[in-house]
Every structure is written in structure tokens, then in C-alpha cells.
Amino acid sequence: MAEPAFSLCVYCGSRPGALDSYADAARAVGAWIGSHGGQLVYGGGSGGLMGLVAQATAAAGGRVVGVIPQSLVDREFANHACDELHIVQTMHERKALMAERSGAFLALPGGIGTFEELFEVWTWRQLGYHGKPIGLLNVARYYDGLLTFLQGSVAQGFMGPWQMDLVDTDVQPVPLLERLVQAAPGAGAGPALRSVI
């Protein structure tokens, strides 16, 4: 099989959310990845937006790499249709492997797990542990409140504007995806993530 044109890590909800637009965005992201010869790296789940982005990627001809802890496999949440399904023991292992296999990161709407994953790769980026682009897809203005809060953190002197600039935000998936892939450090996984342990 040919090497993927790029490898994109997508963080998103294991639930579908209240609006149809969230599901529509997940499908659009997956379809774009697959139709552009890309590889999806994600949390390996079968439900919610996670399942939808994986299904859409595969349906459009893309590769799907899932990474999931054994505890969630035991609860029957794993997507066994992935091209690669890596079963790990801890969430730390999961996130490290997802980061290593990806050339860029994209957060869709989600809950606390999505927030935590976004903030972790953002923190790693601002500390210089990786140079991979990070995107935030603000579907239906879901993240407006968070972005307002973060701008308040800048105003209060706890963050710098340059830290906000490390995350590329858009309400439309295609322009954001194009920018992330263009900014990614080469095809496939890109340079290895430096250890943060």
C-alpha cells in the first residue's frame, strides 16, 4: 500500500452532540482526509463523532489508525474496522502514540477528553516538544466560549498572544484542513515527538 500523503490526528467526542452540524463536520473531515490520500489517527472508538470521522475516512479511501486503551476495548468501544488498531494499557501511551504517528492535530467538538488532548499537544508545542500544526474546528461556534476565556487569560497576563497563535481556528473544515496539511512537517508522521516524560 502506498505511503499516506499525510497523517492527521483528530480529537473529537465519543458522543454525537446535540446538533446535526457536529456529525456533518466529522463526516466532512473524514471524507476530506480519505479523498486526499491521507491517514486518520484517532482514539480508536466506534461511537459518536469518533466513529463518524473514522467511517468517513475509510469510505473515501483513507487509512484509519486507532489507538485505544484495553479498558475501553473491554467495554466494547473499539472500532475493529481500523486498518491499524493499537491496544495500549494507559491513556499516556495512547496520547503519545497518537502524537508520534501524526504530522498535525485537529480538534473537533467534544468533551473533557477532547479538551485535555487539545491542551496537551498545545502545551507541548509551546514548550518546543514538537513543531506540528494544531487546528481547532469551531463547528457551530461551539468553542466561542472557550476562545473568549483564553483571550481573557491573555489579557490577564497568564498567556501571550503568540501562544494563541499556535492554534489555527476556523469554522469551515476544508480551509483549515488545507492549512494544517500544508504546514505539517512532511508526509506521514513527520519528525518524532521529543519525550515529555
pLDDT tens, position by position, 105-127: 999 999 999 999 999 999 999 99
User: Which residues does 46 contact at the CB level (< 8 Å), separation at least 6?
Assistant: 54, 77, 78, 79, 80
**Is 48 domain-assigned?**
yes
Tell me, what's the pLDDT at 1? 61
pLDDT tens, position by position, 8-44: 999 999 999 999 999 999 999 999 999 999 999 999 9
Residue 173 has pLDDT above 70, yes or no: yes
Residue 46 has pLDDT above 90, yes or no: yes
**Is 192 domain-assigned?**
no
Cell 498535525 -> residue: 104
Q: What is the CATH number of the domain that holds 172?
A: 3.40.50.450
Q: Which range is least confidently modeled, 2-6, 82-86, 150-154?
A: 2-6
**Is 189 domain-assigned?**
no
Domain that holds residue 149: 7-183
Q: Which range is least confidently modeled, 43-52, 122-131, 182-191?
A: 182-191
3-state helix, strand, coil in the chain (%, to 5): 45, 20, 40
Report the domain count for the chain. 1
Cell 489517527 -> residue: 41
pTM to 2 decimals? Answer: 0.93
**Is 153 domain-assigned?**
yes
pLDDT tens, position by position, 82-112: 999 999 999 999 999 999 999 999 999 999 9
**Is 188 domain-assigned?**
no
**Is 1 domain-assigned?**
no
**Is 55 domain-assigned?**
yes
Output DSSP code: residue 42.
Answer: E
**Is 197 domain-assigned?**
no
Residue 189 has pLDDT above 50, yes or no: no
